[in-house]
């Protein structure tokens, strides 16, 4: 049937495809468009949504696009950078005045249909540097924001020209952390644009099955299957599309799996009927050799991704399957964080987006049927395909495995590390709440305003509640340049000195991390938190605290649905009391901390 359509213009923001996904969850077809597409490409759509961007509107970045869309007689809505572009086109002003990351409170004013039925105050999610400082003629402010602990009001956070049906929001309605974001999208798509809800997941399955059949033809597909949610759902979809014998599965133990992970994965795949076409390869020695001497996160990720392909090709040759297509359970966050769209910044290179695979994609040799979905949609798809809930609801586990949770170091502090320079600001923010803190001499990967942020964390300690620590952390990474993450000391000792240690990706360090991860995961299971906590990386950091030990263990429990945004999850005190002594008793461990960072500005994984 002919569906009503919303066009989403992708300016390279982290959430462009998330907008499309959220629209599709309203049962309305959303299609991605590029900023330079001719205006004819938008004919027949019911409305347009303009995404955010790593560009700065205040500096005129990305200003050369098809502005004729603004003359079309259809509703247009913009988020963040898109909001700023709407203001600029109609004569407003955008300035580089302040930045905000994470939660803010939106104060609604007036009676805009876009907010009808929502409260006057509501939580929204910010990630920006620029601000609309002057409104164009015909526009009105329909909302402004404040941040707890900051008396300054952020004007023009929501604007509208109701006559021309133009709406702009500095915050991100598309992310799960914006309290009434789905209401805003629903009001725009179903009421303002008048779209009929005719798009379903069943329809998505039908279209992907047809697409797989067309791409594969008579060729077989060799799927790298980790046993995680994404690759298992991808396997189920390929089984739906391909006849018996045309799909082969390969599970690789890269030496960076969780404790007993490969054995459990193979048993589970066989139990659900995928064992007949399953092949296994222990390539741990090969992967460890590829990581030897590497400390930079990007180099580690590339080495892991390239080694996966080397092992895949070796296995394909040994089985006589050289002409088969490579199947991957890539989902959209993998693509966008690797700078996989034209304007997106590279936050971190995922193992399934290294150069070799990009070349294979351009040659049409890769099948990725769930590449436009997020984790919550992948799980919905898995349920529709009849997969066991134990597979569908597993915690996400990255393809590089523990390789991105084992930080490596050459023993030198992070470039520009100067703890004394930041100490007065940390003290001014933290001490009124009974909290102390210090900048740590290393870096982790983060994301700020759709840009990669490879910056330093701050260690916090003191007698304070989890909510207080969250608020202190939010102010620290908002107000201190070069900081993108905060961790909370669980040892109760605090920190007087912190020195990085030389440490590489060795089997013994992976074994230590495996043991620590197993302790944490078993505790989550005992306390029935595996469904409450969306994901819980355990991170090993080569850091000597107060002249003792070699490793800091950081626990990173988060609440999320799609991994594009996340909030730190509070762990019960009794759980921490159980695992603390066991973790601190591991050989060489000097401290234990809880990551209390939102995404943005810190990514879920540390590398």
Place 152 in a pLDDT band, splitting at 50, 70 and 90: confident
Q: Mean per-residue pLDDT for 395-402? A: 85
Place 348 in a pLDDT band, splitting at 50, 70 and 90: very low
For the cut 70, the answer to whether the pLDDT of residue 353 exceeds it is: no
Q: Please tell me the chain's helix, strand, coil percentages from 3-state DSSP, rounded to the nearest 5.
A: 35, 25, 40
Whole-angstrom distance, CA of residue 475 vs CA of residue 111: 32
Asked if 187 and 114 count as a contact pair (C-beta separation under 8 A), the reply is: yes
User: Does 519 or 251 have the greater pLDDT score?
Assistant: 519
pLDDT value at residue 14:
72
pLDDT value at residue 334:
61
Condensed to tens digits (0 to 9), the pLDDT of residues 272-303 reads 777 778 899 999 999 999 999 999 999 998 99
For the cut 50, the answer to whether the pLDDT of residue 479 exceeds it is: yes
For the cut 70, the answer to whether the pLDDT of residue 351 exceeds it is: no
Whole-angstrom distance, CA of residue 374 vs CA of residue 562: 5
Nearest to 513 by CA among 552, 458, 486: 552
Asked if 53 and 16 count as a contact pair (C-beta separation under 8 A), the reply is: no
Name which of 157-161, 385-389, 533-537 the model is least confident about: 385-389
Place 339 in a pLDDT band, splitting at 50, 70 and 90: very low
Residue 181 corresponds to which tokens in the numbers above?
Answer: 């974001």
The span from the first CA to the last CA of the chain, in angstroms, equals 44
For the cut 90, the answer to whether the pLDDT of residue 403 exceeds it is: yes
Nearest to 536 by CA among 568, 512, 493, 488: 568
Which domains, and CATH codes, for the chain? 5-192 (3.40.50.880), 201-399 (3.40.50.620), 409-595 (no CATH)
Condensed to tens digits (0 to 9), the pLDDT of residues 547-559 reads 998 999 999 999 9
* 3-state SS assignment for residue 275: helix
Asked if 505 and 293 count as a contact pair (C-beta separation under 8 A), the reply is: no
Side-chain half-sphere of 440: how many Cα atoms within 13 Å? 28
172 is known as an active-site residue: yes
Query: 255 — phi, psi (to 5°)?
Result: 80, 0
Q: Are strands 47-50 and 5-9 parallel, antiparallel or unpaired?
A: parallel
Catalytic residue among 17, 100, 128, 174: 174
- Any idea which residue has 């914006």 for tokens? 178
Q: Is 362 exposed, middle or buried (0-12, 13-18, 19+ CB in 10 A)?
A: exposed
Condensed to tens digits (0 to 9), the pLDDT of residues 139-149 reads 999 999 988 77
Whole-angstrom distance, CA of residue 213 vs CA of residue 251: 23
Whole-angstrom distance, CA of residue 119 vs CA of residue 117: 7
What are the beta bridge partners of residue 124? Answer: 104
Residue 317 corresponds to which tokens in the numbers above?
Answer: 């040759």
For the cut 90, the answer to whether the pLDDT of residue 474 exceeds it is: yes
- Please state, for a pLDDT cut of 90, what percent of the chain lies above it: 60
Asked if 373 and 381 count as a contact pair (C-beta separation under 8 A), the reply is: yes
Is the link from the previous residue into 600 a cis peptide, with omega within 30 of 0? yes
Nearest to 404 by CA among 491, 517, 313: 517
* Alpha-carbon distance values, 388 to 243, 384, 396, 582 (Å): 22, 11, 16, 33
Nearest to 304 by CA among 348, 347, 260, 344: 348
Q: Mean per-residue pLDDT for 368-394? A: 84
Condensed to tens digits (0 to 9), the pLDDT of residues 184-202 reads 999 999 999 999 998 888 8
Task: Output the CA torsion sign for 311, 314, 319, 321.
Answer: positive
* DSSP per-residue codes, 44-58: T-SEEEE---SS-GG
- Any idea which residue has 């580089």 for tokens? 96
Residue 232 corresponds to which tokens in the numbers above?
Answer: 């298992």
| Number of other residues whose CB lies within 10 A of the CB of residue 370 | 23
Nearest to 253 by CA among 268, 239, 263, 240: 263
For the cut 90, the answer to whether the pLDDT of residue 344 exceeds it is: no
Name which of 308-312, 345-349, 488-492 the model is least confident about: 345-349
Nearest to 188 by CA among 42, 7, 395, 388: 7
Condensed to tens digits (0 to 9), the pLDDT of residues 69-94 reads 999 999 999 999 999 999 999 999 99
User: Does 337 or 178 have the greater pLDDT score?
Assistant: 178
Nearest to 67 by CA among 103, 91, 32, 99: 91
Catalytic residue among 83, 172, 350, 422: 172
For the cut 90, the answer to whether the pLDDT of residue 231 exceeds it is: no
* DSSP per-residue codes, 417-456: --HHHHHHHHHHHHGGGTEEEEE-SS-EEEEETTEEEEEE
For the cut 60, the answer to whether the pLDDT of residue 342 exceeds it is: no
* Alpha-carbon distance values, 85 to 68, 92, 193, 477 (Å): 13, 9, 20, 27
Torsion angle defined by CA atoms of residues 355, 127, 30 and 562, in that order, rounded to the nearest 10 degrees? 70
Torsion angle defined by CA atoms of residues 106, 112, 115 and 120, in that order, rounded to the nearest 10 degrees? 50
Condensed to tens digits (0 to 9), the pLDDT of residues 505-546 reads 999 999 999 999 999 999 999 999 998 999 999 999 999 999
Asked if 596 and 470 count as a contact pair (C-beta separation under 8 A), the reply is: yes
């Amino acid at each position: 049937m002919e569906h009503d359509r919303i066009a989403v213009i992708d300016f390279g923001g982290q959430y462009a495809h998330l907008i499309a996904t959220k629209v599709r969850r309203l049962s309305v077809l959303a299609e991605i468009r590029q900023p330079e597409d001719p205006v004819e490409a938008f004919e027949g759509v019911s409305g347009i949504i303009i995404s955010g961007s790593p560009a700065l509107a205040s500096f005129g970045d990305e200003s050369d696009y098809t502005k004729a869309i603004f003359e079309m007689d259809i509703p247009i809505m913009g988020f963040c950078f898109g909001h700023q572009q709407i203001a600029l086109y109609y004569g407003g002003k955008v300035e580089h005045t302040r930045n905000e990351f994470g939660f803010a409170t939106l104060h609604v004013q007036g009676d805009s249909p876009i907010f009808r039925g929502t409260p006057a105050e509501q939580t929204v999610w910010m990630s920006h540097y620029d601000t609309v400082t002057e409104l164009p003629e015909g526009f009105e402010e329909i909302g402004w924001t404040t941040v707890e602990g900051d008396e300054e009001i952020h004007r023009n956070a929501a604007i509208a020209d109701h006559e021309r049906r133009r709406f702009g929001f500095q915050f991100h309605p598309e992310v799960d952390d914006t309290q009434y974001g789905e209401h805003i999208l629903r009001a725009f798509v179903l009421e303002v644009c008048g779209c009929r809800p005719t798009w379903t997941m069943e329809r998505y399955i039908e279209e992907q099955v047809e697409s797989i059949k067309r791409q594969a033809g008579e060729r077989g597909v060799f799927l790298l299957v980790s046993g995680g949610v994404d690759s298992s759902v991808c396997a189920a979809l390929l089984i739906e599309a391909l006849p018996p014998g045309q799909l082969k599965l390969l599970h690789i133990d890269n030496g960076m799996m969780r404790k007993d992970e490969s054995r459990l994965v193979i048993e589970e795949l066989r139990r659900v009927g995928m064992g007949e076409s399953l092949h296994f390869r222990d390539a741990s020695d090969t992967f460890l050799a590829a990581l030897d001497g590497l400390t930079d996160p990007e180099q580690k990720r590339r080495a892991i991704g390239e080694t996966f392909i080397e092992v895949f090709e070796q296995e394909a040759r040994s089985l006589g399957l050289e002409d088969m297509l490579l199947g991957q359970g890539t989902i959209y966050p993998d693509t966008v964080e690797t700078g996989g769209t034209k304007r997106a910044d590279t936050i971190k290179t995922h193992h399934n987006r290294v150069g070799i695979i990009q070349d294979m994609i351009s040659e049409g040799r890769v099948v990725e049927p769930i590449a436009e979905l997020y984790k919550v949609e992948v799980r919905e798809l898995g349920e529709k395909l009849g997969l066991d809930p134990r597979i569908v609801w597993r915690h996400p586990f990255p393809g590089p495995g523990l390789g991105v949770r084992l930080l490596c170091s050459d023993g030198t502090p992070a470039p520009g590390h100067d703890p004394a320079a930041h100490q007065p600001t940390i003290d001014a923010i933290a001490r009124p709440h009974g909290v102390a803190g210090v900048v740590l001499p290393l870096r982790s990967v983060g994301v700020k305003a759709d840009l990669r942020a490879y910056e330093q964390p701050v260690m916090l300690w003191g007698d304070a509640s989890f909510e207080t620590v969250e608020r202190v952390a939010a102010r620290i990474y908002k107000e201190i340049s070069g900081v993108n993450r905060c961790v909370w000391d669980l040892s109760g000792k605090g920190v007087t000195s912190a020195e990085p240690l030389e440490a590489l990706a060795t089997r013994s360090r992976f074994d230590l991390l495996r043991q620590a991860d197993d302790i944490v995961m078993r505790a989550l299971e005992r306390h029935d938190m595996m469904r409450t906590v969306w994901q819980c990386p355990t991170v090993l950091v080569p850091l000597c605290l107060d002249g003792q030990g070699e490793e800091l263990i950081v626990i990173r429990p988060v609440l999320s649905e799609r991994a594009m945004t996340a909030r730190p999850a509070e762990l019960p005190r009794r759980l921490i009391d159980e695992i603390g002594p066991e973790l601190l008793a591991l050989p060489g461990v000097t401290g234990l901390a809880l990551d209390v960072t939102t995404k943005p500005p810190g990514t879920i994984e540390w590398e």
